[in-house]
Amino acid sequence: MNAPLRPLPARRPYLTGAEVAFGVAMACTSGLAIIAHTFAGISLRFSAGAIVLPSAVILTGIILLVRDRRGRFHEFAWLLRIGAAWGLVSTVGYDAIRPVLVAALQSDFDPYKAMGIFGQLATGRPAGDSIATAVGWTYHFWNGISFGMMFALLRPRGGMIPGLVWAMILQALMMAVYPAFLEARLTDPGFLVSGIIGHGLWGLLLGWGVARAASRRFAS
C-alpha cells in the first residue's frame, strides 16, 4: 500500500510572477488557437505552425536542457516536467473512460471526433488521412500535456480538489467552444456527461500526481 502523502511545508518553488506568466502563456497557445479559430476565424493551420509548435519546442527545450541544473530556473523546468508527465497520464485516463461513458449512455456522440478535426484543420488534409490523424492526436495530447503544465505552474503543491476545479474550468471552456467546433449539442448526454466525468477524472489524476511529486521533492 502506498504511504500517505506527507504535508508540505510553506516552502514552494522560487518562481516569480513573470516566470509563471511566461510558462502559462507558452502552454496555453494550443487552447487559445482553438478558441481563435472558432470565434475569430483565425486559421488553425496558421496558428498551429506559427505559434503552437514554436511554444511547444521552447517548453520541451527548457525541460530537456535544464533538467540537471540547480536554482530557480531548475524549479521552473521541474514544474513543467511534472505537469507534462501527469497531464499526459491524465489525458490517457480521460480518453479511456469517455467511450465507455458514451456506450453506457447509448449515445451516438463520437468522443474522438475532435482529434480528426484538429488534424484536418492543422494540416489542410482530408478526413481519414493518416498524417492528419496523427497530427490531430498529437495536438490532442499536447493539449492535455500543456494544460497539465499550466496547473503545475499555477498550483505547484497540486491537490485533487484544485485539480478538479482546474478541470471544470477547462470543461466550461469546452462547452463554450465545442458545440460550434464539433457541431455537438449541449443536450446530448454523450457529449455532456462524458465531458464532465472525463474531465473530472483528468483533474483528480493530475492534482494527485502533482501533489505526490511535490510532497516527495519539497518535504524531503
CB 199 within 8 A of CB 147: no
Q: What is the pLDDT of residue 119?
A: 95
Q: What is the pLDDT of residue 72?
A: 60
- pLDDT tens-place string over residues 12-64: 556 888 999 999 999 999 999 999 999 999 999 999 999 999 999 999 999 88
Q: Is the pLDDT score of 124 beyond 70?
A: yes
Instruction: Quickly list DSSP for 83-113.
Output: HHHHHHHHHHHHHHHHHHHHHHTT----TTH
Residue 16 CB neighbours (<10 A): 10
Mean pLDDT value of segment 171-179: 90
To the nearest 10 degrees (0 to 180), the angle between helices 53-65 and 130-154 is 60
